[in-house]
Amino acid sequence: MQFGFRAKHSTETANCFLLENVKSKMDKGGVVGAVFLDLRKAFDTVNHEILITKLSKFNFSPDALRWMKSYLEGRTQCVRVSNELSPTLSYDVGVPQGSILGPLLFSLYINDLPSICTGSEVQMYADDTVIYVHAKSKQQAAQELTTVMVQVTKWLSDSCLHLNVKKTVCMFFTKRATDATEPDVYVSGEKLQVVSDFKYLGIILDSNLSFKKHVKKVIQITKFNLANFRFIRNCLTTEVARLYFKSMILPHLTYCLTSWTQACCTTLKPIQSVYKQALKVLDWKPNSHHHCYILRKHELLSWENLVQYTDACLVFKILNGLAPPPLSTFVKQKIQTYGSRSTRSAMRGDCIVPLRKSTFSKSAFSVRASHVWNTLPSDTHNCTTYHTFTKCMKTWLKVNQICEHNP
């Protein structure tokens, strides 16, 4: 459940897995209560003796442990400003930040946290940890979270880590309107703040998973960069304009696209409008000019196809072992049966579309992306490398990119 500092893991896969888990539980009814932990100076408070003890449980050899102990002991730090160097200070706690081993050592240090959180699920991205439970009501979820936090508090104390209670928040995910009064979750006798939205790994999650606040934030940032783009466009060559578009506009629109595009069409409509505006500024065209011509000229994808492309790419990674293994729980291919007649969809490599009761849960990535994957031609399914797949996917989408406006 550690999604940080690991190959094939990212903030996108972390958010995607969290939302899949939450939505699948909410589809069964009830609510999901979550606590987002905030550790105070987590990397700087790692106890070296405890770290070595924990490393010994990973079957490191005695020589490797002695080498690691030597690596951590006797370290000093200082600050350089121009040619001036501050006095050095020694420190006997913490992992060296900015080093290659630092993040890995910290991940191993907190690796046993999920094992002590009985009755709940834990997901980590470095020191950003979320603990959540599924319950019939908010009151029951609050009670279970309070019980779990007793275990977490003891673990933190034993690990010499400190919880920032003021910045640790609680949220209740529910399909219903938020009640005026929320139940309380306690940590060491202190009441946690219950919030209706929280920024987790760059995505603003709200209690109803509508993503309205996140979409509003994306539009605000994109419009600011778009205004600058429009102001300097006449001074830029086409090549430089494309560079600005791909570095200052697209990254904000496509960050964790598989997660927040689960919002309803009404919420996402302004995003599509901003994307079209950016295309027109890129090609230095007035607002009356239709964006379809620009897409063909610059060989770009429409907004709808961009979402489908992103979904399909993550599905390919999941099916081919290029994504975190937990995601394979939600995205699976149909199995070809040997000795009996196989279905045509199984032979094509189609995915099993998860059954969800509500429209809310049907917007989950696994449902939407599986439908997208099943519409792809079989030769695209059978691509052996990710590079080949992305190339075939883009070509197929561009060929089938239909302009529906009136000429």
Q: What is the pLDDT of residue 84?
A: 94
Q: How crowded is residue 37: how many other Cβ atoms within 10 Å of its Cβ?
A: 24
Closest C-alpha among 176, 152, 178, 175 to residue 165: 152
Contacts of 397 (CB under 8 A, 6+ apart): 301, 305, 308, 309
Contacts of 100 (CB under 8 A, 6+ apart): none
Contacts of 367 (CB under 8 A, 6+ apart): 353, 354, 356, 361
Q: Which domains occur in the chain, in start order? A: 11-39+119-206 (3.30.70), 48-92 (no CATH), 212-300 (no CATH), 306-400 (no CATH)
C-alpha 178/C-alpha 194 separation (Å) is 11
Contacts of 265 (CB under 8 A, 6+ apart): none
Any bridge partners for residue 129, and if so which? 37, 124
* Strands 128-135 vs 190-191: parallel, antiparallel or unpaired: unpaired
Closest C-alpha among 127, 130, 113 to residue 195: 130
Q: What is the pLDDT of residue 404?
A: 62
C-alpha 308/C-alpha 287 separation (Å) is 26
Name the amino acid, one letter, at 58. F
Q: What are phi and psi of 172, to 5 degrees?
A: -115, 115
Rg (CA), the chain: 25
Instruction: State how far the alpha carbon of 261 is from the alpha carbons of 38, 272, 306, in Å.
Output: 27, 11, 11
* Report field, pTM of the whole predicted structure over 0.75: yes
**Dihedral of alpha carbons 212, 261, 210, 4, sign:** negative
C-alpha 346/C-alpha 334 separation (Å) is 5
C-alpha 335/C-alpha 87 separation (Å) is 65
Q: What are phi and psi of 242, to 5 degrees?
A: -65, -40
C-alpha 1/C-alpha 324 separation (Å) is 9
Closest C-alpha among 218, 204, 227 to residue 250: 218
Question: Residue 55 in contact with residue 401, Cβ under 8 Å?
Answer: no
Q: List the chain pLDDT tens, one digit each, 407 residues.
A: 999 999 999 999 999 999 999 999 999 989 999 999 999 988 889 999 999 999 999 988 999 999 999 999 888 888 999 999 999 988 888 888 788 898 999 999 999 999 999 889 999 999 899 999 999 999 999 999 999 999 999 999 999 999 999 999 999 999 877 666 789 999 988 999 999 999 999 999 999 999 999 999 999 999 999 999 999 999 999 999 999 999 999 999 999 999 999 999 999 999 999 999 999 999 999 988 888 889 989 999 999 999 999 999 999 999 999 999 999 999 998 876 554 556 667 777 789 999 988 888 899 999 999 999 999 998 898 899 999 999 999 999 998 887 766 55
Question: Residue 17 in contact with residue 125, Cβ under 8 Å?
Answer: no
Buried b (16+ CB within 10 A) or exposed e, 198-221: bebbebbbbbbbbbbebbebbbee
* Strands 186-187 vs 80-81: parallel, antiparallel or unpaired: unpaired
C-alpha 37/C-alpha 237 separation (Å) is 47
